[in-house]
Structure 1
């Protein structure tokens, strides 16, 4: 129960944030942005028919069922970086080299270097793999439905350095794509909570 009414995500973020546990409004930008950074070589692989001019922000076959299969080798190589630990530097290198280039999964204004570094410190590779694998299974439909907020606990144990938070204001309900992501998070032990907000009654 919070004072309001006001933008509900901002209200929850301000209520939960502390100097040691910042909260960021990320919704469909952070996890998809990390996906775009790691999978950049696969997304922009110049396969025949994928690009018609130099201003494409994604290949023409991005949402076709065979998108991943056509790029299986390079996708597997990108995901393998999550296993050998090289993914952090790979993402930072792509961020530095490609920042500002139009890319389907990356909203550059929402993904600054400080947020990137904190996310790479706090999000386990296994959780990123679980998210990226589901994204690849259906890029068109699975790229939405992510929780509104993320709270980081950078000084905590490596297994508990963040939580995702879906915020629902008065009268708002979970959408189907949100429920599917919540189910996926639960099956992969990805920390997520749903915060239901109601406004304090007027005095």
Structure 2
């Protein structure tokens, strides 16, 4: 019954952003029903669909690589080397308060207080992880930065995209027509960002529009000094590349970004940034998160995934100091975190 429903959805809704999820679900269900050849064909057809994007597209590519081995397919697809790239991982140890399935992981922080996995990660990066400052934000800070840097583009005077003064974004922001309709203006603004004018644009936009409702902007969550630090340390080329992707496909790329944005300064006006996806003991990277990390790597960002071992010391097992060896690319050979 579900297979018929998915096939009807794909047949009847040919221009829909959900086609990626439907195609992926259909391919998975067919494999579970013992039809690997049909599952592979569905995945391959999905990659030809222009509405299959971001995480769904990457998931289908990974399925094609796994199912399309000899004798089903003898030639490796062109995207195989890109999909097989390794995402840098860092493993650390923490003392959990709970290890029950279905519950959000809680830990003892370095100060002995209870905290979530993301807060513990921030403590690690602020200390032994390299003296980073940062925020747990997911996509929030990036959508705010995008809107502030591209404000004049978003609210440019185009016909039929603003029907009333209460709109927080043009009607075509999440469509494929947003970028082409403003290509010249968008590229001009992106060039300014690339050339190092992002901080000035950010300050000007904040001063002129602070408090004005805009899609993606949270005026209360992120302060101007915090945004300025992030923009300065990320740098113009990376910011321009990220803003271009959001302008070209806001709907697909406005979710699933890494949990942490970290930065540290080298002097007064220069610094570096890092984006980290944090995964608890019972969690793993989603395809959308994996797609974002690989995209950010292509944009020049420093990215990594921070992971906890699946088997950790249980609550009540005593106080320990755990040393977890890190991968060879990490700055230190071991991470020592007190367990209480």
Q: One fold, TM greater than 0.5?
A: yes
Superposed displacement of residue 160, structure 1: 6.2
**How far, CA to CA, are the matches of 1:162 and 1:85 in structure 2?**
15
Superposed displacement of residue 175, structure 1: 1.4
The match for 2:242 is 131
Superposed displacement of residue 87, structure 1: 2.4
Q: Indicate the structure whose relative CO is greater, using CA pairs within 8 Å and at least 6 residues apart.
A: 1
The match for 1:105 is 216
The match for 1:11 is 120
Larger Rg: 2
Q: Which residue of the other structure, out of 145, 157, 173, is the alignment partner of 1:46?
A: 157
Q: Which residue of the other structure, out of 286, 302, 316, is the alignment partner of 1:175?
A: 286
Q: Which residue of the other structure, out of 304, 308, 312, is the alignment partner of 1:193?
A: 304
**Shift in CA distance, 157/88, structure 1 to aligned 2, threshold 3 Å:** closer
**Shift in CA distance, 99/179, structure 1 to aligned 2, threshold 3 Å:** same
The match for 2:142 is 31
**How far, CA to CA, are the matches of 2:237 and 2:206 in structure 1?**
21
Superposed displacement of residue 113, structure 1: 1.1
Verify: 1:145 aligned to 2:145, yes or no. Answer: no
Long gaps (5+) in structure 2: 1-92, 98-105, 107-115, 318-340
**What number of residue pairs does the alignment pair up?**
203
Is the 1:8–1:197 Cα contact (8 Å) retained in structure 2?
A: no
TM-score when normalising by structure 2:
0.56
**How far, CA to CA, are the matches of 1:41 and 1:106 in structure 2?**
14
TM-score when normalising by structure 1:
0.91
RMSD of Structure 2 on Structure 1 (CA):
2.1
The match for 2:178 is 67
